[in-house]
A and B are shown apart, each in its own frame.
Chain A
Amino acid sequence: MSAVPLVYCSVLALTVVACVTASSDSRVVETVPDRASFEPVSDLLDHRCGTLDCHGVSYRNLRIYGREGLRFAPDARPSSRTEAPFGTTVAEYDATYQSLVSLEPEAMSAVVSEGGASPERLTFVRKARGVEEHKGLGIWKEGDPEDICVTSWLRGRTDVALCKQALER
């Protein structure tokens, strides 16, 4: 039996497939949570997650900068003082923000565009709550002040008072 029909079908199929490819130029523009109200959240993350043995390490996918851990400027040092020049700088807040909101762009866009609904779709929320494997274990539980601080920011209404309260715990 001739194999010509099989070869013909194969070449045709391969040709069709060759024209159907995932675009190399397509981009996704994220819907991101508010940067202006991020700083109280960043302070909390710096304190609870950003130690130099955890996310205060530049090799981590989630980098957290702040006065209590990883600093941005070459002449900066970790510090317990909050006033300038020792406190967390604007550049450090920006860096932490960019690192955090870009971890899962698609999931972040979905959560933010839905008003912060189902924040557990984000891995950093699940890991902080301890429901997903995390070397740092569970940092807080769902409903704790820390958790509400973060999720309120995702909803677009950062609970600044609760974030400060969480920082003192």
Chain B
Amino acid sequence: MWRRKASGLSATPRGAAVASTALVVSFTLVLASTARAKEPEDTSKKSASLETAVYADSDHVTVFTPAINGNVENVVDGASLHGSYLVDVVSAASVDIISTASRRWHEVRHAGALSGEYKPHDLGIGFSASVSSEPDYFSYGASGHLSYDLDEKNTSLFFGYGYGHDTIGRAGTSFATFARSLQRGSFLGGIDQVIGPSTLGTLSLGVIIENGDQSKPYRYIPMFSAAEAAKTPAGASVDYVNAHRLFERPLEQLPLARRRFALSSQIAHRLEFSTVRASERLYIDNWGLKASTTDARWFVDASERVRLWPHVRFHAQSPVSFWQRAYVSDGQPGFSLPEFRTGDRELGPMWAVTGGGGAKVFLGSSAHPHFFAVSLEADAVYTSYLDDLYISSRTGVLGSLTLELEEP
């Protein structure tokens, strides 16, 4: 027997960030459920969902992501388990690829995650582990966190640490022949605070320490003379760049260490028939990039079985300190080149606005209306690149369809 459980979905614009939460293999859940059903008192709550997301944009990138997700709450008193598995099917012919007269490429990424928490009283402990694999990138990570409730659970403190390791390679080439390593340590601390009878706030600080060369092994940066660089316009076409660049076109080179800080806040307020949820994230790192991301959703209980929500998001960022639209090479005899050089638009100045919404319909029986639910979410994203070659804007659409089951 299954019970309804709300499953939030956050729509993210790029293929690598499309997948959200995770599910346990449904067979395991069924097995656990069956085993539990034989016990005299099964207080666990089980849920599972199947999600299909599609992303496509004007830069000729398409991502198709099927995912399964499973949760078991209260396995034993205060314990819960969550698991997920997804596949990203990426097809890209973006301007970065076109600029080298290459054709569309296709790639598949597999990712799985498992997490759990045990919090029988005020003190809780949790863990998570994840792994992601694609032909030229392998990543794994694990984290642990503590949480502690105070003031009759009106306040909850949390702190966690995570470690991640990425192996960066080149498609079609074994990691033994070519590979770079990137290590990542993450700290997250914060506070959940009940602000009022219907209002919950969260404030957190995240710190990520990255060591390793995360330069893209496929990205070569066109070089210009000083005179040409000054004339090269934003959004210069592939043909323009090819005609005006120098013969030198070195590989991207990023700094070998990155320190990231993010201060996030979120507030949720329950109205009579709706819930408003808003968040703000301020980001800064030692590469000089500063960003602000504001997100808001308004969940409206249109009826007992229908929930609707509009969604808006705005993101703006400044470039990294070594960003140049057109990099300058001083040419012979010494080939003086910029020590740090990139063509990654995600490191340049940009802003993006997202608008969309979603709907969730509970289709269970009258006795258990939330046993089965269908969610549909769609967002459109417009991104403006303020100081880039090849492209000055991009429009994308992201949609997802989720089927959920929840034990009553």
Binding site for B on A (CB under 8 A): 1, 3, 6-7, 9-10, 13-14, 17-18, 20-24, 26-30, 32, 35, 57-63, 95-96, 98-99, 101-106, 123, 126, 131-133
Contacts and interface: CB of A to CB of B under 8 A. Distances in A.
A10 B249 CA distance: 40
Contacts of A59: 99-101, 238, 242
A58 B242 contact: yes
Contacts of A106: 253
Nearest to B328: A27
B125 interface: no
Contacts, number: 143
B286 interface: yes
Contact of A133 (B170, B323, B338): B170
Contact of A126 (B177, B193, B248): B177
Contact of A103 (B207, B249, B340): B249
User: Helix, strand, loop or mixed for chain A's interface?
Assistant: loop
B320 interface: yes
B240 to A, nearest CB: 12
A29 B337 CA distance: 6
Given A9-B205, A21-B287, A26-B339, 8 more contacts: A1-B150, A6-B191, A14-B284, A21-B288, A30-B334, A32-B334, A59-B242, A126-B177
Interface size class of B (residues with CB under 8 A): 35 or more
User: Helix, strand, loop or mixed for chain B's interface?
Assistant: loop
A162 B331 CA distance: 30
Contact of A98 (B247, B259, B261, B263): B247
A122 to B, nearest CB: 11
B288 A22 contact: yes
Given A13-B205, A103-B220, A126-B177, A27 B336 contact: yes
A61 B100 contact: yes
A102 B247 CA distance: 8
A57 B207 CA distance: 45
A11 to B, nearest CB: 8
A126 B178 CA distance: 10
Contacts of B329: 102
Contacts of A60: 100-101
A133 B249 contact: no
Given A1-B155, A59-B100, A20 B259 contact: yes
B151 interface: yes
Interface in B152-210: 155, 157, 170-173, 177-178, 189-191, 193, 203, 205, 207
Given A14-B261, A61-B220, A30 B247 contact: no
